[in-house]
Amino acid sequence: AAQGDLEWKKGPCRFCGVGCGILVGIKDGKAVAVKGDPRSKVNKGLLCVKGYHQTMCIQSKDRLTHALVKKNGTYVKTPLDEALDLVASKMKETIEKHGKDSVAMYTSGQSTIPEGYVASKLMKGAIGTNNLDCNARLCMASAVAGFLTTFGADEPMGCYEDIEHADYFITWGNNMAEMHPVLFSRMLEQKQRRGAKIVDFATRTTRSSTASDRSILFEPQTDLAVANAICYEIIENGWMNKSFVEKHCNFTKGLTNIGYGLEDKFAFKDKATPIDFEAYREFLQDYTPEKVAKYSKVSVQDIKYLAAIYGDPNKKVVSYWCMGMNQHTRGTWMNNLVYNIHLLTGKISQPGNGPFSLTGQPSACGTAREVGTFTHKLPKGVVTNEKHRRLAAKIWKVPYERIPAKPTYHTTEMFRAVDRGDIKFIWTQVTNPLVSLPKTSRYRPALEKESCFVVVSDVFPTPTSDVADVILPASWHIEKSGIYGNSERRTQHWDQMIEGPGETTPDAWMTIEVAKRMGFGDLFPYSRENHVEEIYEEYIQFHEGKKHGMAPLKALKRKSGVIWPYVEGKSTLWRFNAEYDPACDNGKAFHFYGKPDGKAVIWQRPFEPAPEKPDAEYPFWLNTGRVVEHWHTGSMTRRIPVLHQAMPNAYIELHPDDAMDYGISNGDMVKVISKRGACTMPASINERGLPTKGQVFAPFFDEELMINDVTLDAFCPISKEPDFKKCAVKIEKV
Ligand code: SF4
C-alpha cells in the first residue's frame, strides 16, 4: 500500500528491552508496515531487523486461534469459555485437594504491566500463594539483587541520554551489536561524531568486539577477579574519589563459599557485615593485576588500561551489561563489583557517568520488576515486609493475612517442584520454558508427567504447548492494548491496533475470567473494553511519590513513553543526584535514598570458581546466547520468513584450531555433550562469532536444536538466576 493510504498507530516494539518506538501502518484492519517512530527518544526513527519485520508473524498459518483441550491424547478445538471453565475448575479442585501451594503461574518479562498485575493479584491476593515467578528470573534477577544490595532500590539510575555524554562505553560480557542493536548504533554515532570510545570486555569475539576500539578477552568466571583488580588499581593509584566515598558509601562484606544451588530445596541467606576502608583495601591485595592476569588470561597491561579509564577524572564512563554478568553463578556479586568501580570513582548518577544494566525483554523492568511477578515480590516491595503486605492488601481489598509472608519457588525450584510432584497445576503465559530453561533434559519429562495439569497461553504452538493439557489462544502485542516498561525506566502505552483472529484474547482478560470463575469476581471488577486502563490506574497507587511515581495514563497516551519517577509532569533522568532527582532530600549532592542511611554499599566480593569447569573428559566451556535475527526461543521470529531465511538454524561456533584438531569443517554436524544431555548441530567456523580456543558457543533460539538440554541448572544463590554461560562439554564429529 502507498504510505498515504495507511493509518499509522504508535506503540513500543514487541521484542527487546531497548524499547524502541514503532509506528504500525494499518490498512483494511491489517498491519501491513512498520517503521521507527521519529518522535521516540529511544530510537529516533531507527529500528533493527527484528523491529521492522515484527508484524509478519501474526498471520502465520499455525497461529493458535482457538482453545485446544487435550482429550485422550488428542487436542480438541474447544470454545474459549469452556476451556476457561476447565482451567478454573482444575485450579480450584487442585487447591481444595492439595493446598494453595500446589498451583503455580509462570509468566514473563514479555507480559504487559496489566497482565503481570492481574497474575500477581490472582495468586497472591486472591488465592493466597506466592507460587508466581517469571522468565525474567532467567535474565534480570541478578541485576535486581545487585541494585537492591548496593543501592536498596531497583533499576538503573541513568538513562539512554548517557550515550550522548560519555567518553567511554565499557561493555561487560555484552554483545550489544546483536542484542541491543539500536542502542549500539547510538554509541557508534557518538564514536563517529566526537570520538567516544567503545571497549568490549568479553569471553568471545563478536560483532560488538569488531566494532569496538579495543577488545579484551577473559577466561569465563574471572570477570569477578578482574573487577576487583580494577578496584585495586583505582585505590593504589590514588584515583579514588575520596570525598564522594566518604560522604556517600559504606563498606560491607557478605558470606563466601555460598554454593551453586545444584541440589533441590537449596536455601541461602546472605549476611552483611560492615567493614572499614582499610579492611577492604587489605582484601584487594589478593587482586593485584599481576596475580589476576595469571588466571583471567587478561594481561597486566589490559587490566591497568581498564582501570585507568575508570580512574581518569576527566573521562566520563558508562558500563553496560546484560546476560554475561547476570546469568552467572555469582551474578549478584558481579553487579556489586561494577557498582564498586563507579562508586569508588564517584562516576555515577551523572550524564555520561554510570553503571547501566540493560534488560533483555521488553517489559522485564515494567512488569517483572515493577509489578513484581516474582515469588518474593509485591507491586511495591516484598512479601516478607509487613508494611508492603498491608499496602497490597489495602489496594487489592483482601484480608492482610491472606498474602503469605514467605516466598516459595523461584523459577528453577518451581520446575523442580513440578518434577517432584509438589506442584500439580501450572499455567504459563507468554513464555516457552521447555526451550528457555537450563537443563531442559530434566524439566521436559517433569512437565510431561500426569501428576501436573499444564495450561499454556501462547500465540503459536511451542515445545511447551506440546505438553499442555489446555492451550489458550493469546492475542499478539498489537491485537490488544498494553503497557511495557523498558531498560531506562520508560513506561510506554499503546492502544489496540487490529483485531486478532478467532477467539484470541489478551492474557490479562483470560486471567480475569479464570479469577471470576474461581469466585473472585469482586476483586476483578474490570471491563473487557477498558481493563488495561482500569488496571493501570489501580496499579499506580502502589508507586506514588517522588521516588517511584508513575505517569498518569493521559501522559502515557500523549507521549512516546515517560521515565519514572514522574514528578510534577517531568521524567527523572538521573536518580540519586540532587541536581536532577527531586526525591534527594539529605542536603548533599547525592542521596542513595534506597538505603536507610542514604549511602550506597561497596561490597567485598571475592572471585570464586564456576561449579563446573572443563576437564580431561569434558574439555570445552559451553557458552549460550542469542543472535540479532531471533527473539529468544524463536517462536515468533522463526515464523517471520525474512528472519528465518537469514538465520534458519542454530549452530555450534568453534575456534578454528579446535575445529582442525577434531577434523571438523564448517557445516559438519557436531554432537555437543555434557553430563546432562546432548545436542547435534552444524559447525560454524570463522562466521559470525569467534570463541577463544577451548570454548564453544551456541544460540538457543532453535527448538529443533535445543542446546538447553546440555546446559547446567546452577544459579546465583542470592538472585537465583541460572548460569547459561558456563558449563563443561565435549564435542564429537558426527
Ligand atoms: Fe525492537 Fe530491540 Fe530492535 Fe529496538 S533494538 S527494534 S526494541 S528488537
Q: Determine the atom of ligand 1 nearest the C-alpha atom of 181.
A: 5
Q: How many CB atoms lie under 10 A from the CB of residue 634? A: 28
Question: Which amino acid, residue 730?
Answer: K
Residue 373 and residue 279 share a domain: no
Kindly state the percentage of the chain with pLDDT values over 70. Answer: 99
Q: Is the four-CA dihedral 444, 446, 449, 452 of positive or negative sign?
A: negative
CB distance 20 to ligand 1 below 6 Å: yes
**In this predicted structure, what is the pLDDT of residue 226?**
99
- pLDDT tens across 555-610, in order? 999 888 999 999 999 999 999 999 999 999 999 999 999 999 999 999 999 999 99
Q: How many CB atoms lie under 10 A from the CB of residue 660? A: 12
What's the gap in Å between 721 CA and the centre of ligand 1?
24
Q: Clarify whether 121 is annotated catalytic.
A: no
Q: How many residues can be counted in the chain?
A: 734
Query: Across the beta sheet with 7-12, what order do the strands follow?
Result: 7-12, 21-27, 30-36
> Given 140, 157, 179, 681, which residue is catalytic?
140
User: Which of 42, 47, 320, 358 has the most ligand 1 atoms within 8 A of CB, as the residue to mutate?
Assistant: 47
Q: What is the spatial distance between Cα 120 and Cα 133, in angstroms, rounded to a whole number?
A: 9
Residue nearest (by alpha carbon) to ligand 1 atom 4: 20
What's the gap in Å between 195 CA and the centre of ligand 1?
25
CB distance 280 to ligand 1 below 6 Å: no
Q: Which residue in this structure is represented by grid cell 525506566?
A: 489
Residue 291 and residue 186 share a domain: yes
- pLDDT tens across 452-504, in order? 999 999 999 999 999 999 999 999 999 999 999 999 999 999 999 999 999 99
Q: How many Cα atoms are found within 13 Å in the side-chain-facing hemisphere of 109?
A: 26
What's the gap in Å between 80 CA and the centre of ligand 1?
33
What's the gap in Å between 469 CA and the centre of ligand 1?
34
Residue 339 and residue 225 share a domain: yes
Under DSSP, the state recorded for 577 is: B
Q: Per residue, what are the HEC states of 683-721?
A: EEECCCCEECCCEEEEECCCCCCCHHHCCCCCECCCCCC
- pLDDT tens across 581-590, in order? 999 999 999 9
Q: What is the mean pLDDT of the chain?
A: 97
Give a yes or no: residue 613 inside a domain: no
Q: What is the spatial distance between Cα 499 and Cα 66, in angstroms, rounded to a whole number?
A: 14
Residue 381 and residue 279 share a domain: no
Residue nearest (by alpha carbon) to ligand 1 atom 3: 48
Closest C-alpha among 290, 358, 278 to residue 320: 358
Residue 513 sits at the vertex; the CA angle it makes with 507 and 514, to the nearest 5 degrees, is 90
> Given 54, 190, 350, 361, which residue is catalytic?
361
- pLDDT tens across 170-193, in order? 999 999 999 999 999 999 999 999
Q: Which residue in this structure is represented by grid cell 492482610?
A: 400
Q: At 722, which CATH number? A: 2.40.40.20
Q: Clarify whether 325 is annotated catalytic.
A: no
Q: Determine the atom of ligand 1 nearest the C-alpha atom of 362.
A: 7
- pLDDT tens across 41-80, in order? 999 999 999 999 999 999 999 999 999 999 999 999 999 9
- pLDDT tens across 493-507, in order? 999 999 999 999 999
Q: What is the spatial distance between Cα 44 and Cα 37, in angstroms, rounded to a whole number?
A: 6
697-726 mean pLDDT: 98
Provide the grid cell at 471.
492451550
Residue 310 and residue 268 share a domain: yes
What's the gap in Å between 560 CA and the centre of ligand 1?
15
- Assess whether pLDDT exceeds 90 at residue 5: no
Instruction: Let me know: does 634 contact 702? Beta carbons within 8 Å.
Output: yes
CB distance 437 to ligand 1 below 6 Å: no
Give a yes or no: residue 533 inside a domain: yes
Residue 424 and residue 314 share a domain: no
Give a yes or no: residue 573 inside a domain: no
Q: At 211, which CATH number? A: 3.40.228.10
Q: What is the spatial distance between Cα 191 and Cα 452, in angstroms, rounded to a whole number?
A: 54
- Among the candidates 57, 81, 97, a domain finishes at 57
Residue 555 and residue 414 share a domain: yes
Residue 261 and residue 368 share a domain: no
31 - beta bridge partners? Answer: 26
Closest C-alpha among 725, 647, 726 to residue 174: 725
Q: What is the spatial distance between Cα 29 and Cα 230, in angstroms, rounded to a whole number?
A: 56
Q: What is the spatial distance between Cα 41 and Cα 49, in angstroms, rounded to a whole number?
A: 19
What's the gap in Å between 384 CA and the centre of ligand 1?
36
- Assess whether pLDDT exceeds 70 at residue 311: yes
Closest C-alpha among 464, 396, 453, 444 to residue 423: 453
Q: Which residues contact 692 (CB under 8 A, 6 or more apart)?
A: 203, 204, 205, 217, 655
What's the gap in Å between 43 CA and the centre of ligand 1?
9
Residue 164 and residue 84 share a domain: no
> Given 51, 173, 331, 360, which residue is catalytic?
360
CB distance 47 to ligand 1 below 6 Å: yes
**In this predicted structure, what is the pLDDT of residue 320?**
98
- pLDDT tens across 429-445, in order? 999 999 999 999 999 99
Q: Clarify whether 50 is annotated catalytic.
A: yes
- Assess whether pLDDT exceeds 80 at residue 234: yes
Residue 76 and residue 37 share a domain: no
Q: Determine the atom of ligand 1 nearest the C-alpha atom of 49.
A: 3
Give a yes or no: residue 341 inside a domain: yes
Return the H-helix or E-strand segment holding 9: strand 7-12
Residue 49 and residue 91 share a domain: no
**In this predicted structure, what is the pLDDT of residue 560?**
80
Kindly state the percentage of the chain with pLDDT values over 90. Answer: 99
Closest C-alpha among 27, 14, 6, 44 to residue 560: 44
> Given 50, 197, 377, 439, which residue is catalytic?
50
- pLDDT tens across 639-692, in order? 999 999 999 999 999 999 999 999 999 999 999 999 999 999 999 999 999 999
Q: What is the spatial distance between Cα 92 and Cα 620, in angstroms, rounded to a whole number?
A: 48
Q: Clarify whether 689 is annotated catalytic.
A: no
Give a yes or no: residue 62 inside a domain: no
**In this predicted structure, what is the pLDDT of residue 558?**
85
CB distance 15 to ligand 1 below 6 Å: yes
DSSP calls for 624-661? EE--TT--TT-TTGGGSHHHHHHS-S--EEE-HHHHHH
- pLDDT tens across 200-229, in order? 999 999 999 999 999 999 999 999 999 999
Instruction: Let me know: does 118 contact 512? Beta carbons within 8 Å.
Output: yes
- Assess whether pLDDT exceeds 70 at residue 1: no
Give a yes or no: residue 610 inside a domain: no
> What residues form the annotated binding site for substrate?
700
Residue 386 and residue 348 share a domain: no
- Assess whether pLDDT exceeds 60 at residue 707: yes
Residue 394 CB-density burial (10 A; 0-12 exposed, 13-18 middle, 19+ buried): exposed
The domain of 631 spans: 620-733
**In this predicted structure, what is the pLDDT of residue 3?**
63
Residue 528 CB-density burial (10 A; 0-12 exposed, 13-18 middle, 19+ buried): exposed
Q: Determine the atom of ligand 1 nearest the C-alpha atom of 180.
A: 5
Give a yes or no: residue 478 inside a domain: yes
Q: Which residues contact 714 (CB under 8 A, 6 or more apart)?
A: 260, 261, 262, 329, 611, 612, 722, 723, 727
Question: Which amino acid, residue 282?
Answer: E
Q: What is the spatial distance between Cα 342 and Cα 619, in angstroms, rounded to a whole number?
A: 36
- Assess whether pLDDT exceeds 90 at residue 125: yes
- Assess whether pLDDT exceeds 60 at residue 298: yes
DSSP calls for 453-468? EEEEEESS--TTGGG-
Q: Clarify whether 361 is annotated catalytic.
A: yes
Q: Determine the atom of ligand 1 nearest the C-alpha atom of 42.
A: 4
Give a yes or no: residue 94 inside a domain: yes
Q: Determine the atom of ligand 1 nearest the C-alpha atom of 631.
A: 8
Q: How many domains does the chain have?
A: 4
pTM, two decimals, is: 0.97
